[in-house]
Each structure stands twice: as structure tokens, then as C-alpha cells.
């Protein structure tokens, strides 16, 4: 399976030009920074450890998608906004090695902003050599995991909630469920990057929403 | 273990005489069929007893095993007789009834039930030694089999009695029971199995499924035919009676007039929501009845249900609005009258419900049917004809569902372990798996051993593990615990408890429904008006309110389709082959309207109608094959029409027919003229393609995944610990399709979609009818009486689209922008 071509929507947030990518990532050209959230590496393997035979495979797909996004944007910094791993049980040797292999050849500098799932382990694998921060402040932005307004007034980019939109049609056209970017006045929430992740409907007043549909981005 | 010596006939004969004596003391005389069953048991036979409800089946089945127990006492305590009941609420009544006779004849024997409702104190006492007579459910029996000491606990069994076998037979619970019985036959080779069943046209199959394939099965029956009176409560004027709807609340006042709070009455409904609504309406009409009126369904807390059932026995509760939750019941309740609201759906089901009334052997039973819309008058006439002819639907065990087998393998691994060859033989000793191939067995074993073929490379997956001798066990205590928690085949939606502020528990509602509530929303539950306060962990906290409900609690769960038998009788009634009766006289105006607008349906050709409305362009077809087959047919037709020209169809189905509706114009006429549209050949492929389009097999996969242990059931209170391994089955389905498309569980889900969700044989039959017998299509200026219910029903609507997602969203948004 090959990653789909990437579509994008340009917008201005907190005075900065950013690009929302159909690869479920945010790109900030001024700092050559790519941000993704909620990757949930090792989720299938966590299930396996509990005796639930979910096939592995999504990690390879997700790494290929991540690789394509980094290369397509030419990002120099990759921010992983939390819930990089799914649980302690899922960090099998194979998952650790597969991720480490990609991290070593990743052209951008990867930094983890810690999320709640990441705290299931005392420390991430050494082989990943990932710097871990509680949050990252840069320019007008603060990058973190949980979507809460910043007390210091920075614009927050976060993940955690796996936002989706449910679009209901009138006149019996049915409904469509899409992962979204949910861009509010103080907080922007990224869609979950991991393929094996669900979502929760999010639609706060005043927020702009952009849905990811079949490799396209649609302003809702 | 050694086979016990052949019975000393004298000892058994003496014990039987004591049973007769006990009957005598009650002022009863045994029926001949009861004596025949006792004699057959004494000869070591197994079999099936089929007599109408209320004819004393329980004593027919229990007399033999009890006499055996009296004739052959053992010094060591332990289980001798297992009495399997499909409902744990019934188990308690059975316990009381069996205690009376056992207490007189075998005073040393303990008679106890062990179900999900049994207290932990009783359980721990039973852990030391099971009672001599153990009353339990299929799920609790599987749990027993999953105990490490199961072989020791169950090896001394003389007999198993399977009550209401017809109710289990054609479900996964029936499959689970078959597997458990095969395991018991292996643990106790001299085991005798007796199943009890209501009248079935294929009793031989039912008997074979109980005793095991290829074994002798004795059939015991009796020339007892309880007269069954089916009557119909007619609306005052059919003109004022709705053409569509399923609640039937227009009829409440007429039902209330006929309700008597002095005699025990069951009011059956088809859904839990309908039960709540009817309870509320009756309560409003008869507030003075107070607590003598009650509502009973499976989402209501078990204690409250038990209280209502006790009330029904002791007379403190007399009128109970219920669902299938009270379809089954022991013969000891004093129900006088039975009402059935809405479509009876099947002949056997209507007879079963009628059988709950007039519980004296030989007494007539009576059911008063209440139509919820005008067309149901015709259906009720057809149902009455079928009941009079005793034209009952057959039932057969499911064919080798692998999810149930996968679960059973882990159960047997926990319960003392198994070797592959021995378990293969044991499993094939069931009707359901008699034809199971070794390849499929091995695939299932691989699934629980290493997660199936694709998981070979993942060493952290260990569910069952073989030791050096090839005996499979479950070494991981955490996996063992998870398995015990999820034994069973009933797929419930994730649920949360409904609790008052003081902690009192009222029952459970679906998490999906609870998640959408906002503070102040009001709904009916367990017959109370409640206001939502907050959702806290796994509790939906509520408080009582006097104000009207603002939302209706909904429960998922498959909707039952009308049976082939009833549907065919219905079509014959429309065609004038079944005539007479007050129902048809009342329905005359609606039949005339149908005939004037298009024509009356008849066997031989399929009726179709085309209509243009403000909503869009409608096509209606009426194959009369039941809602499930129609759902499949709608899916296939939507796919094939969408291939001719990209389109989005919303579809709606009921037991009579289906509707395809396109907002944008679609050339139905040209498409219907193309015989390829109804080609039965590519049916399976097209259904599967359509299913993926309509996300239908995801829904079916949920059940398969739950039984096979891929997802854990939403037990209230168990959520937190399992949060890490919870995923929606939709997600799981996608992962499997991406990485393991040949997984047999996926295939099974697809097969089940075909067989169960879409009633494959009826679906194929309707396509054949459409291609061979032809279709007669009428353009109607207004919706006909047959079309109207399909047009207004939005509940079971499914959407099929061959348009690109972005195009659909654009169309949806365009809709909103143009008024």
C-alpha cells in the first residue's frame, strides 16, 4: 500500500502562514516544522498481548505515510504531539526496531511532546533517541498533546481527541464521517495520524473545520 | 472412567413408583407420555420430548433422572443432573419447582441454580461440590467447563435436560450448547440427554442436535393439542387508522378497555422502546393501577425483573408490558390473558406467546392481536390461518460458526486442556460441526494459538499454548480472566448503568444513546420518567421527573424479519386465496385503495411502483420475502443501478418490500428493462460489494468479533481496565481487510451477512422471481398503501453511494445552501 498524494489548504493562524495537509499533518513553513498527533504505534501489538489476534501492518503503512509527508514538505523538524505509542505491551522488539529504523533515516529532527499514552512506559526505547518535552513553545505557537488554551496566550496546536466531523445531508443524502482539523480561536486540534485509531465528534462554535476525505481536504 | 453397572431394574421401578406416589399426593395423574419418557430414561435412552407448552414437560423430563438418583445414590456429593434453561430468570422458578419434587423423593440431594444472578456465597459453596441437581444457562455451563477442575466436577453426571431447546436451536447460543453437550458426553460417557421442545415440523433434527449426530434419539410426544384462539382487536374505522407506524398507540384505549387488573395479563411488544411507550400510555389511562402494572424487558435491572416475575406469581403484579423477555417461561405462572401488539413475525412465535395464557393442561390458550397499522390487519388474518393449520416454521442448528468454535477452544483449554485430535473428534460430535473440515479446525486452533496464519511472527501473542504432550492450556492468567469475562454469544452494545443519585440501579442503556444526552434531557426507562443529570464513568446518573420525556431511549439489536411461512400466507391473503374474517372486512378500504392506485400483490409476479415526490425519485418493489432479504436486495440493486450511472440511493425496507430513492433523477425505467439487473448469478459477489459500500458487514463483524474474542463486550463497570484494548469493530474490520483479507472470521462475517442479515436463500428466491416471473411496475401519483410505510420509515434507512466522497459532501452542502 502506498501513501496517497498529499493535498493541502493554506491558512493563517495567529498571524503565521501554515498549511494543513491531507496526510493528517500540519506544516509550518517559516520554521520548516511538520506536526502530527496520536500515532499510537504498537496498538495492534498491544491487542495481541491481550490475546486478541489483530494483525500488525499498520505501523509500516503509517511510517511510509509519515516519511512521504516529511519528504514532500522538506521539513527539518518533526513534532510528534503525543500518544506516539499505544501502550507498554505494544513495544515489541519488532515495533521498536521498525520505528528506530525509520527514525534514524528520517531527514527531520524528531521531537516527542508527551501524551497520556506515552506515560504507560517509564522511558521510551533508547534506540529511538527521541527528545521528550512536556510541550514546545515556538513563536506564537505552543505545541502540546491536550487541547487546552495556553495560560500565556500562545496559540495551541494539539491532538488527543482524534476529532472527526459527521456531515449530515438533508433530503435523505445520509451522513459522512471524516477526520478533521479543528481550528479554533485559541486551539487547533489535529486529526489522529495513526490508521488504527477512532475518533470523537468535535464542533465548537467559531472553529473552522477541514475534513480529510479520500486524500483531499475539504473546508467544512 | 468406568461405565456404571447396568441399572438394577427393580430399584429404578421402585423409584418410579415413588414418583407416581408423589404425583398422587398432589392429586395429579401422570400423562401417558410422561410415563413413556420415564421408562425410556430407565432404559438408558436419550431423546426429545415435544408437547405443547403447559402440558407438564418439565416433570416428563425430570421424573426419570430423579428416579435414577433415588435408585442409585452415591456417597460423594456432586452434580448428577444438569437442567439447562435458556433464561436465568426462568432458572429460579425451575429451581423452586424441582425442589418440591426432589425434596420429597431425594431429600439429601441439593437442588440449586447457578447463573449470572447467583450470589458469590452460593458460588463459593458450589465450588467445593456442585449440587446434585444443577440448574443453569448455556453461558454458565460454558463457564463451568472453563474451570480447571471441570473434568472432576462433571464426570459423575447421569443426565442433562435441555429446556426450550427450540428457542436455542437455531442461534449461536444453540451452537454453544451443542459444543458444551459434546464436551459433557466425553467427560461422562454414559450421559443421557433429554431436550424439551415446543412443536416443530423438524423434530428429528432438533433431537439429533441434542443427543449428537448418528446416535439413537427417542422421540416422546403426546396427542395433546391445546386449542389456540387468535383474535384481532379491530380499529373503529380503518379510515382513521394509520397506514404506517409500529408503535400502535392509537389502539391503547381499546386495549385498556379489555385489560382487567384482576387477572394476570401479558402485553407483548416487539421492541423495548415500544414496551416503554405502551407502559406509559396504559399508566396514563389507568393511574389507579399503580404498582400492579409493570414493564419488563432485558435492559431493566435483573432484580427489578425478578421482582416483577415474583409479583406475577403472587398476584401483586397483574398487567405486565413486555418484550421477548417473557416469551419463555415456566409452566407454573398463572397468566390468564395475552395481548400481542404489532406483527407477530412468525407462526411459532405467536403460538409460543399464546401458550403463555391459560396454563392448565388441556385448557385453551388465547392471544388477542393488536394491529399497529392498517396493513397489519391483513397480516393478522394470514397469521390466524397459519396458526389454525399449525403451519409452523422449522428450525435447524447453525452450520459450523468458527467464532463460537474459537471461543469454545479457549474454554476447553482452560477446563483441563485438550489435544487437537481429541477435540476435533469431540467437536464433530455435534450436528453443527459434523461436517467441519480438519483444515478449518486447524485454522481455528491456529487463531487461538498464534493469532492465525498472519500472526506467526508475533511471539507475544499466546492465547492457548501446548505442552510437551500436546495438551493445550491457557498459561496467562490475565488472558484466562478476560476469556471468562467474555464467554457467551450474545452481542450487546456497550452499555452504561442507569442510576439514581442515591446509587439505586435501574438497568442499562446503550453508551451511544447515553453519550448523546444533555443535562435536562428526559426519557422513559423501566417505566419511570427520568431526567439526565450526568454521565460519570460507567454510570448514567438520572433523577426522577414529572415532566414529559423529550427523547426516546433506543436500543440497537437486529430487527426480526417476518418468517417465510407468514409472508407467503400474507401474499396469498392479498391475492384472495385466504378469505373471510373480521380483519379483512376491516381492511377492505385499504385493499381497495391499493387496487385503485396500482394493484394488489399476488404470488407469481413481483409488484413494483414508481413515484416522484418532493424528496426525489422513488422505486418500490414488493417481493414479500421479509425485511432481511429485502435489505440484501436493496443493497444489490443499489449497487447495480449505481454501476450503470453513479448515484446515491437511500434505501428503506420492511417485511413487505423495499424502496430505492435518489434525490437526483435516475432513469429507473431503462434500468428495470435490463434483465442483467436481476441476474441471480453474481449475487454473492454483488452482495459483498454492496455490503462494503453500505458498511453492513462491519455491523455483522461486530458479533463475530465479539464471540471470537476480538473485542470485549461492553460490560458496565469493566471499561476502565480494558480501555487499552478497546477498538470499534469498524476499525478492526478495516485492519483485517488491509492486512489479513483471507481471515476466516471475515469470511464468516460475510457469510453471516448473507445467511442471516440477508436471508440468502430468500434473497436468491426473490431475484429468481424478479428475473423469471417478471416485474409489473406501475406509476403512481401518490404513495400507495404499500409504499407509504416505506416512505415514512426513516429508522432503518441505509445509504448506498457509488459517487466520490468529495462529490457527495459537495452535494450535501449544496442542499443546505439552496432552500
- For residue B63, what pLDDT is reported? 96
Q: How do the domains of chain A map onto residue ranges?
A: 8-219
Yes or no, beta carbons of B812 and A170 under 8 Å apart: yes
| Residues in chain A closer than 8 A to B811 (CB atoms) | 169, 173
Give per-residue pLDDT as tens, B556-594.
666 678 888 899 899 999 999 999 999 999 999 899 999
For residues A216 and A8, what is the distance between their CA atoms, to the nearest angstrom?
A: 8
Kindly state the DSSP code that residue B68 receives in the 8-state scheme: H
Yes or no, beta carbons of B458 and A94 under 8 Å apart: yes
ipTM topping 0.90: no
Yes or no, beta carbons of B724 and A46 under 8 Å apart: yes
Question: Structural domains in chain B?
Answer: 9-221 (3.40.50.300), 228-388 (3.40.50.300), 402-485 (no CATH), 495-544 (no CATH), 598-817 (no CATH)
What would the grid cell of residue B670 be?
431503462
Kindly state the DSSP code that residue B224 receives in the 8-state scheme: -
Reduced 3-state DSSP string for B449-506: HHCCHHHCCCCCCCCCEECCCCCEECCCHHHHHHHHHCCCCCCCCCEEEEEECCCCEE
Interface residue A166 vs chain B (CB under 8 A): no
| Residues in chain B closer than 8 A to A116 (CB atoms) | none
- For the CA atoms of B231, B236, B238, B241, the dihedral, rounded to the nearest 10 degrees, stands at -100
- For B613, the closest chain A residue by CA position comes to A171
- For B745, the closest chain A residue by CA position comes to A53
For residues B41 and B35, what is the distance between their CA atoms, to the nearest angstrom?
A: 10
| CB pairs < 8 Å spanning A and B | 136
Yes or no, beta carbons of B479 and A50 under 8 Å apart: yes
Give per-residue pLDDT as tens, B376-430.
999 999 999 999 998 888 888 888 888 899 899 999 999 999 999 999 999 999 9
For residues A88 and A92, what is the distance between their CA atoms, to the nearest angstrom?
A: 9
Residue B720: pLDDT above 70? no
Yes or no, beta carbons of B739 and A57 under 8 Å apart: yes
Place of cell 456404571: B4
- Find residues 127-156 of chain A whose CB sits inside 8 Å of chain B: none
Q: Which of B97-101, B649-653, B715-719 has the highest mean pLDDT?
A: B97-101
- For B804, the closest chain A residue by CA position comes to A214
Interface residue A87 vs chain B (CB under 8 A): yes
Q: How far is B479 from chain A (nearest CA, A)?
A: 6
Q: How far is B516 from chain A (nearest CA, A)?
A: 11
Interface residue A118 vs chain B (CB under 8 A): no
Q: Given A54, A172, A176, which is nearest B615 (Cβ)?
A: A172
Phi and psi torsions of B415, nearest 5°: -90, 55
Q: Given A57, A174, A214, which is nearest B806 (Cβ)?
A: A214
Place of cell 428475473: B771
| Residues in chain A closer than 8 A to B815 (CB atoms) | 169-171, 173
Yes or no, beta carbons of A173 and B616 under 8 Å apart: no
Interface residue A171 vs chain B (CB under 8 A): yes
User: Does 3.60.21 match the CATH number of domain A8-219?
Assistant: yes
- For residue B552, what pLDDT is reported? 78
- The pLDDT-based confidence of B261 (bands split at 50, 70, 90) is confident
- For residue B697, what pLDDT is reported? 57
| Residues in chain A closer than 8 A to B806 (CB atoms) | 213-214, 216, 218
Residue A157: pLDDT above 80? yes
- The pLDDT-based confidence of B362 (bands split at 50, 70, 90) is low
* Interface probe with B: pick from A2, A118, A119, A173, most Cβ of B within 10 Å: A173
Q: Which range, of A5-9, B54-58, B160-164, B538-542, averages the lowest pLDDT?
A: B54-58
Reduced 3-state DSSP string for B563-597: CHHHHHHHHHHHCCCCCCCHHHHHHHHHHHHHHHH
Asked if B497 and B717 touch (Cβ cutoff 8 Å), the reply is: yes
Q: Given A50, A94, A211, which is nearest B725 (Cβ)?
A: A50
Question: What is chain B's percent helix, strand, coil content, to nearest 5?
Answer: 45, 15, 40
Interface residue A54 vs chain B (CB under 8 A): yes
Q: Given B451, B650, B804, which is nearest A174 (Cβ)?
A: B650
Pairing assessment for the beta strands A136-138 and A141-143 based on DSSP bridges = antiparallel
Interface residue A2 vs chain B (CB under 8 A): no
Residues 6+ apart with CB under 8 A from B662: B616, B617, B647, B648, B649
Yes or no, beta carbons of A55 and B709 under 8 Å apart: no
- The pLDDT-based confidence of B8 (bands split at 50, 70, 90) is low
- For residue B698, what pLDDT is reported? 61
- For B816, the closest chain A residue by CA position comes to A170
Place of cell 413475525: B345
- For residue B511, what pLDDT is reported? 73
Yes or no, beta carbons of A51 and B454 under 8 Å apart: no
Yes or no, beta carbons of A52 and B457 under 8 Å apart: no
B401 vs B494, which has greater pLDDT? B401
- For the CA atoms of B350, B356, B358, B362, the dihedral, rounded to the nearest 10 degrees, stands at 80
- For B649, the closest chain A residue by CA position comes to A173
Give per-residue pLDDT as tens, B91-111.
878 898 899 999 999 999 999
Residues 6+ apart with CB under 8 A from B146: B410, B411, B414, B415, B483, B484, B487
Q: Give the mean pLDDT of chain B.
A: 85
Among candidates B126, B738, B744, which has minimal Cα distance to B453?
Answer: B744
Amino acid at each position: 500500500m502506498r501513501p496517497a498524494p498529499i493535498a493541502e489548504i493554506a491558512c493563517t493562524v495567529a498571524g503565521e502562514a501554515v498549511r494543513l495537509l491531507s496526510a493528517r499533518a500540519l506544516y509550518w513553513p517559516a520554521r520548516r516544522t511538520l506536526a502530527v498527533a496520536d500515532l499510537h504505534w504498537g496498538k495492534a501489538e498491544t491487542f495481541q498481548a491481550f490475546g486478541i489476534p489483530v494483525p500488525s501492518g499498520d505501523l509500516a503503512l503509517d511510517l511510509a505515510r509519515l516519511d512521504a509527508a516529511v519528504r514532500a514538505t522538506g521539513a527539518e523538524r518533526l513534532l510528534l504531539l503525543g500518544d506516539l505509542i499505544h501502550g507498554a505491551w505494544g513495544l515489541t522488539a519488532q515495533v521498536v526496531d521498525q520505528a528506530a529504523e525509520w527514525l534514524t533515516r528520517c531527514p527531520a529532527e524528531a521531537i516527542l511532546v508527551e501524551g497520556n499514552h506515552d506515560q504507560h512506559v517509564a522511558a521510551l526505547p533508547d534506540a529511538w533517541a527521541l527528545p521528550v518535552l512536556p510541550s514546545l513553545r515556538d513563536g506564537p505557537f505552543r505545541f502540546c498533546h491536550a487541547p487546552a488554551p495556553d495560560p500565556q496566550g500562545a496559540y495551541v496546536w494539539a491532538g488527543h481527541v482524534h476529532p472527526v466531523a459527521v456531515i449530515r445531508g438533508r433530503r435523505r443524502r445520509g451522513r459522512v464521517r471524516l477526520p478533521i482539523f479543528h481550528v479554533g480561536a485559541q486551539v487547533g486540534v489535529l486529526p489522529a495520524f495513526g490508521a488504527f485509531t477512532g475518533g470523537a465528534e468535535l464542533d465548537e462554535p467559531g472553529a473552522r473545520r477541514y475534513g480529510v476525505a479520500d486524500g483531499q481536504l475539504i473546508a467544512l | 472412567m468406568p461405565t456404571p453397572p447396568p441399572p438394577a431394574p427393580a430399584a429404578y421401578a421402585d423409584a418410579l413408583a415413588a414418583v407416581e406416589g408423589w404425583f398422587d399426593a398432589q392429586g395429579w395423574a401422570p400423562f401417558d407420555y410422561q410415563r413413556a419418557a420415564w421408562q425410556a430414561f430407565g432404559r438408558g435412552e436419550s431423546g426429545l420430548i415435544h408437547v405443547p407448552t403447559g402440558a407438564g414437560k418439565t416433570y416428563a423430563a425430570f421424573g426419570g433422572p430423579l428416579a435414577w438418583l433415588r435408585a442409585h445414590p452415591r456417597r460423594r456429593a456432586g452434580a448428577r443432573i444438569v437442567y439447562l434453561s435458556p433464561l436465568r430468570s426462568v432458572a429460579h422458578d425451575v429451581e423452586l419447582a424441582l425442589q418440591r419434587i426432589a425434596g420429597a423423593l431425594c431429600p439429601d440431594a441439593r437442588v440449586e441454580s447457578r447463573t449470572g444472578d447467583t450470589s458469590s456465597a452460593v458460588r463459593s459453596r458450589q465450588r467445593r461440590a456442585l449440587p446434585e441437581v444443577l440448574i443453569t444457562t448455556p453461558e454458565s455451563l460454558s463457564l463451568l467447563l472453563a474451570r480447571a477442575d471441570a473434568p472432576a466436577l462433571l464426570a459423575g453426571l447421569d443426565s442433562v435436560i435441555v429446556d426450550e431447546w427450540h428457542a436455542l436451536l437455531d442461534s449461536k447460543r444453540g451452537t454453544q450448547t451443542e459444543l458444551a453437550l459434546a464436551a459433557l458426553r466425553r467427560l461422562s460417557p454414559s450421559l443421557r440427554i433429554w431436550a424439551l421442545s415446543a412443536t416443530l415440523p423438524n423434530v428429528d433434527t432438533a433431537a439429533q442436535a441434542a443427543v449428537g449426530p448418528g446416535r439413537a434419539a427417542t422421540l416422546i410426544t403426546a396427542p395433546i393439542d391445546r386449542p389456540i384462539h387468535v383474535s384481532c382487536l379491530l380499529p373503529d374505522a380503518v379510515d382513521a387508522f394509520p397506514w404506517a407506524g409500529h408503535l400502535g398507540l392509537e389502539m391503547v384505549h381499546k386495549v385498556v378497555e379489555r385489560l382487567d387488573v384482576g387477572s394476570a395479563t401479558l402485553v407483548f411488544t416487539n421492541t423495548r422502546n415500544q414496551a416503554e411507550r405502551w407502559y406509559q400510555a396504559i399508566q396514563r389511562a389507568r393511574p389507579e393501577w399503580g404498582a400492579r402494572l409493570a414493564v419488563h424487558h432485558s435492559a431493566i435491572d435483573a432484580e427489578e425483573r425478578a421482582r416483577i416475575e415474583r409479583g406475577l406469581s403472587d398476584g401483586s403484579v397483574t398487567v405486565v408490558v413486555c418484550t421477548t423477555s417473557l416469551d419463555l417461561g415456566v409452566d407454573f405462572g398463572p397468566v390468564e390473558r395475552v395481548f400481542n401488539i404489532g406483527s407477530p413475525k412468525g407462526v411459532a412465535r405467536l403460538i409460543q406467546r399464546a401458550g403463555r395464557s391459560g396454563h392448565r393442561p388441556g385448557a385453551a390458550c388465547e392471544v388477542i392481536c393488536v394491529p399497529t397499522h392498517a396493513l397489519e390487519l391483513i397480516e393478522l388474518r394470514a397469521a390466524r390461518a397459519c396458526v389454525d393449520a399449525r403451519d409452523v416454521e422449522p428450525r435447524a442448528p447453525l452450520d459450523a460458526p468458527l467464532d463460537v468454535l474459537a471461543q469454545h477452544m479457549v474454554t476447553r483449554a482452560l477446563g483441563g486442556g485438550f489435544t487437537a485430535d481429541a477435540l476435533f473428534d469431540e467437536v464433530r460430535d455435534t450436528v453443527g460441526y459434523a461436517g467441519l473440515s480438519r483444515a478449518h479446525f486447524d485454522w481455528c486452533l491456529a487463531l487461538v494459538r498464534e493469532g492465525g496464519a498472519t500472526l506467526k511472527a508475533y511471539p507475544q501473542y499466546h492465547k492457548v499454548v501446548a505442552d510437551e504432550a500436546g495438551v493445550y492450556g491457557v498459561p496467562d492468567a490475565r488472558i484466562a480472566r478476560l476469556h471468562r469475562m467474555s464467554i457467551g454469544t450474545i452481542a450487546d452494545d456497550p452499555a452504561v448503568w442507569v442510576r439514581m443519585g442515591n446509587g439505586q440501579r435501574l438497568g442499562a442503556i446503550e453508551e451511544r444513546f447515553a453519550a448523546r444526552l444533555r443535562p435536562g434531557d428526559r426519557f422513559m426507562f423501566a417505566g419511570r420518567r427520568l431526567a439526565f443529570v450526568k454521565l460519570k464513568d460507567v454510570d448514567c446518573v438520572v433523577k426522577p421527573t414529572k415532566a414529559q420525556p423529550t427523547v426516546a431511549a433506543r436500543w440497537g439489536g437486529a430487527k426480526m424479519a417476518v418468517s417465510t411461512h407468514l409472508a407467503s400466507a400474507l401474499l396469498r391473503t392479498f391475492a384472495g386465496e385466504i378469505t373471510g374474517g373480521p380483519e379483512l372486512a376491516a381492511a377492505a378500504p385499504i385493499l381497495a385503495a391499493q387496487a385503485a392506485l396500482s394493484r394488489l400483490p399476488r404470488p407469481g409476479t413481483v409488484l413494483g411502483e414508481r413515484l416522484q415526490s418532493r424528496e426525489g425519485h422513488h422505486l418500490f418493489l414488493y417481493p414479500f420475502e421479509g425485511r432481511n432479504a429485502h435489505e440484501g436486495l436493496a443493497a444489490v440493486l443499489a449497487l447495480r443501478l449505481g454501476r450503470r450511472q453513479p448515484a446515491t440511493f437511500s434505501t428503506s425496507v420492511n417485511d413487505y418490500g423495499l424502496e430505492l430513492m435518489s434525490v437526483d433523477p435516475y432513469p429507473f425505467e431503462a434500468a428495470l428493462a435490463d434483465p442483467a439487473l436481476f441476474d441471480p448469478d453474481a449475487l454473492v459477489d454483488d452482495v459483498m460489494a454492496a455490503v462494503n459500500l453500505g458498511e453492513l458487514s462491519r455491523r455483522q463483524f461486530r458479533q463475530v468479533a465479539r464471540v471470537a474474542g476480538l473485542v470485549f463486550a461492553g460490560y458496565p463497570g469493566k471499561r476502565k481496565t480494558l480501555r487499552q484494548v478497546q477498538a470499534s469493530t469498524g476499525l478492526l474490520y478495516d485492519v483485517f481487510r488491509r492486512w489479513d483479507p483471507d481471515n476466516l472470521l471475515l469470511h464468516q462475517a460475510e457469510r453471516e451477512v448473507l445467511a442471516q442479515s440477508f436471508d440468502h436463500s430468500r434473497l436468491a428466491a426473490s431475484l429468481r422471481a424478479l428475473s423469471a416471473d417478471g416485474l409489473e411496475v406501475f406509476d403512481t401519483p401518490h404513495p400507495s398503501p404499500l409504499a407509504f410505510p416505506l416512505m415514512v420509515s426513516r429508522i432503518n434507512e441505509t445509504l448506498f453511494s457509488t459517487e466520490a466522497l468529495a462529490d457527495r459532501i459537495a452535494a450535501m452542502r449544496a442542499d443546505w445552501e439552496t432552500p
